[in-house]
Amino acid sequence: MATIPKITEAYRTDPIHAITNKNLDSFEEIPDTHDWVQPNSFPSFRDDHSNNISDLPDTDSVPLIDLSLPNAPKLIGNALRTWGVFQVINHGVPISVLNSMETLLHDLFDLPTPQKLKAARAPDGVNGYGRFRISPFFPKSMWSEGFTVSGSPLEHFQILWPHDCTKYCDIIEEFDRELKALCGRLVWLALGALGITKEDVHWAGPNGDFETSSGVMNLNSYPVCPDPDRAMGIGVHTDSCFLTLLYQNNTSGLQVLREGKRWVTVEPVTGALVVQVADLLQILTNGLYSSPFHQAVVNRDRKRLSVAYFFGPPENAEISPIKKLVTPTQPLLYPTVTWAEYLRKKAELFNDTLPSIRLSTPPTGLSDVNDHNQMKRG
């Protein structure tokens, strides 16, 4: 599994002491540091959008696509054009791989806090235990703990599990192999739906197998919360990679913003994976696919576990809108960027990054579901 060295310098460091020494699930009340419902709290908390007159039906739900069916490619194209997200079943990742990962998540987050803190992410590191890297962009702390894996987790797993670290490393390695392969397959299906072939994406490698691309994994735990309406598991954001696959246990929490208007919960489906367009795919498709804003809420009586698999291009590959997708009606929307450059910008401008690098406004009639200003306007 390849590493992404420059990401280290990209995101602001977020000292681990920001994580309380106490387990979140031992709180009987929400401490002020984690209370998002207050005057002047972050403007897009929760139902900011609910006052809007929405013409979307309430029954609208994130598409569920069976990858083994012949019409899957067409459905993927439609789902990504309209939602930027879908759930996939019959994806070929063995259920045993997902189950082993779930065991790892339980074993990891059930460890005593002092033990987890020994494997904390270093101030200049990517791997290890800590908070979401986007935490510094929000005024309140998130009701979650995480563990990031880029490359080998060995060093940190040796600390967590001195006797069993091989077993847990193997789980990570197998999960990485399977999800990377699935990402490759999904990317070609997604691009194929736009008439894009392997020749159009040179950094995918000669066989189009993304050999030099890599995945970063974030293992997430959202402890039970005494007052979930006041807390937030992860605040609203888009992912900065190319494509994200998300595994969630049988507990809901993930919500995607539908057309800048309404939060829609991605209901857990056994064995399914959530597929999300991320920022670099939005750039590559010249905005035809948009990376959706999403967040995760927490529950009063159920702990939620998830793994986000961030699939990215080779660090220094130049990503620019595919020429075939630049037309008089869809002019060039984004400049050329590398992943490393993009992450540096994102670390500075966060949710304003994509709008800020945008070269032209979309033609009238087409609204960009990911326009942050639209989101602020509601």
Ligand X SMILES: C=C1C[C@]23C[C@H]1CC[C@H]2[C@@]12CCC[C@@](C)(C(=O)O1)[C@H]2[C@@H]3C(=O)O
Ligand Y SMILES: O=C(O)CCC(=O)C(=O)O
- Residue 302 interaction partner, one of ligand Y, Fe ion, ligand X, none, beta carbon < 5-8 Å per kind: none
Q: Does 241 bind ligand X (CB under 6 A)?
A: yes
Question: Within 10 A of 27 (CB to CB), how many other CB atoms are there?
Answer: 18
Stretch 328-357: interaction string toward ligand X, x if CB under 6 A: ------------------x-----------
Report residue 108 as tokens: 């990891």
Residues that bind Fe ion (CB under 5 A): 239
Among 127, 148, 221, 290, binds ligand X (CB under 6 A): 148
Q: Does 273 bind ligand Y (CB under 6 A)?
A: no
81 assigned to active site: no
Report in angstroms how near the CB of residue 237 gets to ligand X at its nearest.
5
CA distance 279 to 295: 15
Q: Which residues pair with 73 in a beta bridge?
A: none
DSSP for residue 121: P
- Region from 15-23, 95-103, 199-207, 236-244 binding ligand X, contact rule CB under 6 A: 236-244
Nearest to ligand X of 133, 230 (CB atom): 133
In what order do the strands lie in the sheet containing 304-312?
A: 64-66, 85-89, 273-277, 243-248, 304-312, 214-222, 145-150, 128-130
- Given 12, 304, 344, 358, the catalytic residue: 304
Report in angstroms how near the CB of residue 60 gets to ligand Y at its nearest.
19
- Residue 246 interaction partner, one of ligand Y, ligand X, Fe ion, none, beta carbon < 5-8 Å per kind: ligand Y
Q: Tokens 């067409």 appear where?
A: 74
Q: CB-based burial of residue 274 (10 Å sphere; 0-12 exposed, 13-18 middle, 19+ buried)? A: buried
Site for ligand Y in 211-270 (CB under 6 A): 218, 220, 234, 239, 246, 248, 253-254
Nearest to Fe ion of 169, 232 (CB atom): 232
Q: Does 6 bind ligand X (CB under 6 A)?
A: no
Nearest to ligand Y of 36, 188 (CB atom): 36
CA distance 188 to 186: 5
Q: Is 46 helix (H, G, I), strand (E, B) or coil?
A: helix
CA distance 64 to 43: 31
Q: Is 150 helix (H, G, I), strand (E, B) or coil?
A: strand
- What residues line the site for ligand Y (CB under 6 A)? 218, 220, 234, 239, 246, 248, 253-254, 294, 296, 306, 308
- Cite the active site residues: 304
